[in-house]
């Protein structure tokens, strides 16, 4: 393949992905697992050892050595959540009382359906050295409640989008051992809004005069990913992969609406520049693939994600004011098992199941990220349209544990939000693969 054609395809795919990327919703924490149509179909089992298509750029660059020539993989994932909240006695008022019930509804369906695309390309440099490029969205979040809901003083809209550019190299030492490494240039953009009870904060009647605050910011930062792949004579492959932490410092602004005259000089409610430091977690994966004859593959995966750096979300305003939300997230594991069966030369069937821990502790759950543990069931297929073209289809359902919230923000006028969340998520994936 000519170099100019390779660069053209990379640039075109990058533009398409960056033009269409949307923040995801309700992966564990705010990480997005949906990086591959083939991976979705087996609940991400074997992701660091498979090397089945070009999405291995994200999961384990070392497995690029399993790809001959040049391979393009372009995927799109539809995330369709169903989220409901049930109020159970939320109230507000000054610290120490008197307290009054928070008015408003349950917020509608705050989980928004989204589309998340990925683009990957792998090509030969030499028979033993591979180059890959990926454009993806490793993190994302989007919740948006009705404006008059009972928890409006804690959250209205919470949105995070990420764009990750990932050039990679792989080196095949011999038929048994390969190594890979990648560089990550990552952009994030965040927008968060909530209502403000100016009636309460001005010493008047609670919930009689609502305003709002919105903060928005963006940042570029950099990281890396590493991988190793081991092939054993027993038709077994073991993959190890690591993605580094990325330290982001968002810069943007905070703006307020409907500030009453009595509080117009209060620096807490003055529009201002804003910064916020966020450490996006590192992760490590151990995957295995066992081939059984020409028809079957059994796969497994364990992935550890270090969320414990996310202790708080702090916005620092240029006028000296700060806003801090305690998070106290914990480290998590995701485990999955999967299998594929080659039904014919043109059709491969897949299925998988897994369990994904949530980093959110019950005592620190917020309306912005009402997350909990989830069980994963998945099914998918790969169909060869021609000698050089194939399509992956996949479906995944997340059974998310019901969760409670009892978030006390009385000290800052946010009230105490008490209730239960119910959530389940459907994911539909489509991926196109083309060999050059």
Within 8 A by CB and 6+ apart from 390, the residues are: 382, 383, 384, 432, 433
Output the CA–CA distances (angstroms, integers) from residue 333 to 29, 118, 364, in the order listed.
12, 24, 19
Beta bridge partners of 278: 248
User: Under DSSP, is residue 383 helix (H, G, I), strand (E, B) or coil?
Assistant: strand
Examine residue 98 and say whether the peptide bond preceding it is cis (omega within 30 degrees of 0). Answer: yes
Q: How far apart are CA 393 and CA 383, in angstroms?
A: 8
Q: How far apart are CA 434 and CA 134, in angstroms?
A: 15
Beta bridge partners of 353: 337, 377
Residue reference for tokens 């498979």: 50
Element (H, E) at 20: helix 3-20
Q: How far apart are CA 48 and CA 33, in angstroms?
A: 13
Within 8 A by CB and 6+ apart from 169, the residues are: 61, 125, 129, 130, 131, 132, 180, 181, 182
Tens-digit pLDDT string for the chain (436 aa): 444 444 444 444 444 444 444 444 455 778 888 899 999 999 999 999 999 999 999 999 999 999 999 999 999 999 999 999 999 999 999 888 889 999 999 999 998 878 889 999 999 999 999 999 999 999 988 899 999 999 999 999 999 999 999 999 999 999 999 999 999 999 999 999 999 999 999 888 999 999 999 999 999 999 999 999 999 999 999 999 999 999 999 999 999 999 999 898 998 899 999 999 999 999 999 999 999 999 999 999 999 999 999 988 888 988 888 888 889 999 999 999 999 999 999 999 999 999 999 999 999 999 999 999 999 999 999 999 999 999 999 999 999 999 999 999 998 899 999 999 999 999 999 999 999 9
Q: How far apart are CA 119 and CA 75, in angstroms?
A: 6
Q: How far apart are CA 174 and CA 131, in angstroms?
A: 17
Domain that holds residue 280: 3-435
Q: How far apart are CA 144 and CA 72, in angstroms?
A: 35
Q: Specify the length of the chain in residues.
A: 436
Element (H, E) at 57: helix 56-59
pLDDT at 27: 54
Q: Which of 326, 287, 323 is nearest to 310 (CA)?
A: 326
pLDDT at 165: 97
Q: How far apart are CA 264 and CA 266, in angstroms?
A: 6
Going through 147-295 in order, the beta strands assigned E by DSSP cover 157-172, 177-197, 210-232, 236-243, 246-257, 272-280, 283-292
Q: Which of 368, 355, 429, 436 is nearest to 399 (CA)?
A: 355
Q: How far apart are CA 186 and CA 290, in angstroms?
A: 34
Report how many helices (DSSP H) and strands (DSSP E) the chain contains, helices first.
4, 22
- Ramachandran assignment for 416, one of left (phi > 0), alpha (psi -120 to 50 degrees), beta (any other): beta
Give the DSSP letter of residue 68.
Answer: -
Number of domains in the chain: 1
Looking up residue 283, the CATH number of its domain turns out to be 2.40.160.60
Provide the CA 431 distance to its chain's centre, in angstroms. 18
């Amino acid at each position: 393949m000519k170099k100019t054609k390779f660069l053209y395809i990379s640039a075109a795919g990058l533009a398409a992905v960056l033009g269409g990327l949307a923040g995801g919703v309700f992966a564990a924490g705010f990480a997005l697992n949906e990086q591959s149509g083939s991976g979705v179909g087996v609940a991400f089992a074997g992701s660091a050892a498979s090397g089945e298509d070009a999405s291995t750029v994200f999961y384990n660059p070392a497995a690029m050595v399993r790809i001959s020539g040049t391979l393009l993989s372009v995927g799109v994932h539809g995330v369709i959540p169903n989220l409901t909240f049930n109020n159970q006695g939320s109230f507000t008022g000054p610290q120490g009382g008197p307290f009054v019930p928070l008015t408003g509804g349950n917020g509608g369906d705050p989980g928004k359906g989204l589309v998340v695309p990925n683009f990957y390309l792998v090509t030969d440099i030499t028979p033993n050295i591979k180059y890959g490029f990926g454009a993806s969205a490793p993190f994302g979040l989007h919740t948006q409640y009705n404006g008059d809901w009972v928890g409006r003083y804690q959250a209205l809209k919470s949105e995070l989008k990420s764009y990750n550019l990932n050039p990679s190299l792989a080196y095949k030492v011999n038929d048994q051992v390969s190594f890979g490494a990648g560089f990550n240039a990552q952009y994030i953009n965040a927008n968060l809004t909530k209502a403000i009870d100016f009636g309460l904060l001005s010493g008047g009647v609670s919930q009689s005069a609502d305003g709002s605050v919105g903060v928005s910011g963006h940042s570029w930062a950099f990281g890396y990913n590493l991988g190793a792949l081991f092939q054993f004579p027993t038709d077994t492959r073991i993959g190890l992969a690591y993605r580094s932490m990325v330290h982001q410092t968002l810069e943007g602004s905070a703006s307020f609406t409907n500030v009453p005259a009595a509080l117009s000089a209060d620096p807490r409610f003055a529009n201002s520049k804003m910064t916020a430091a966020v450490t996006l977690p590192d992760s490590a994966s151990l995957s295995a693939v066992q081939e059984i004859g020409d028809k079957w593959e059994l796969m497994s995966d364990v992935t550890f994600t270090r969320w414990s750096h996310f202790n708080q979300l702090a916005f620092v305003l240029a006028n000296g004011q700060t806003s801090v939300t305690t998070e106290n997230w914990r480290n998590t594991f995701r485990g999955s098992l999967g299998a594929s069966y080659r039904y014919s030369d043109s059709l491969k069937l897949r299925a998988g199941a897994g369990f994904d821990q949530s980093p959110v502790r019950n005592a620190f759950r917020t309306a912005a990220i009402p997350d909990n543990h989830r069980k994963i069931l998945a099914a998918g297929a790969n169909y060869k349209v021609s000698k050089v073209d194939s399509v992956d289809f996949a479906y995944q359902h997340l059974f998310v544990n019901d969760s409670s919230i009892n978030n006390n923000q009385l000290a800052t006028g946010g009230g105490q939000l008490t209730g239960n969340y119910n959530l389940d998520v459907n994911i539909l994936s489509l991926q196109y693969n083309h060999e050059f």
